[in-house]
Amino acid sequence: MTTVLPEFITKVFDSWTVLRLAERHGTGGRETKAKLQSLVNFVMQRLNKRVEAEDLADMLEDYLYDNLNVLCEDDSQYDVANLILQAFTLHSAGKILELAELASKLPEGCNLAQCPAQVVEADVDGEDEESVSAESSEDDVEMNDA
């Protein structure tokens, strides 16, 4: 079995900013790197089932959300899916030289230092800090009364 297609997919993922940011920030926990590496196998399995570009994009979006806690707000998963399916078509037709040419045109990943971090604060179970502090104070009072 040839490794040209998985290598191409790996190169696409290595240049995809959302995945590079996920790795840099460890959004998938301690297993982030392993989850990113398993994404190539995940895609290869889907390609063997002859998926459409939109379906592959949706699968990528779900994988990012479910495994890496990432929302792809720029819709780049559609560009990535189209690029991967283009490579899959070339590979299936035995057009390895064309696939290599396509791979050579892939951009390098951007400089992550130029990507500002976006911090999102979320309430847990609808509580804000004031209500948590008030509850803590009440608990302290009850313990002192006992």
**What single DSSP character describes residue 73?**
T
Calculate what percentage of the chain has a pLDDT beyond 70: 73
pLDDT the model gives residue 35: 95
User: Whole-model pTM?
Assistant: 0.73
End-to-end C-alpha distance for the chain, whole angstroms: 73
Question: Which residues have CB under 8 Å from 141's CB, separation 6+?
Answer: none
Q: Domain extents for the chain? A: 4-115
Could you tell me the pLDDT band of residue 1, with boundaries at 50, 70 and 90?
A: very low
Higher pLDDT, 134 or 9: 9
pLDDT at 26 (0 to 100): 93
Per residue in 24-78, pLDDT (tens digit) is: 999 999 999 999 999 999 999 999 888 999 999 999 999 999 999 999 999 999 9
- Chain-centroid distance of CA 30 in Å reads 15
Rounded-to-integer distance, Cα 33 and Cα 76, Å? 20
- pLDDT given for residue 3 in this prediction: 87
Are 68 and 27 spatial neighbours (Cβ–Cβ below 8 Å)? Answer: yes
Per the CB < 8 A criterion, the answer to whether 15 and 109 are in contact is yes
pLDDT of residue 108: 79
Question: In the prediction, which pLDDT does 52 show?
Answer: 94
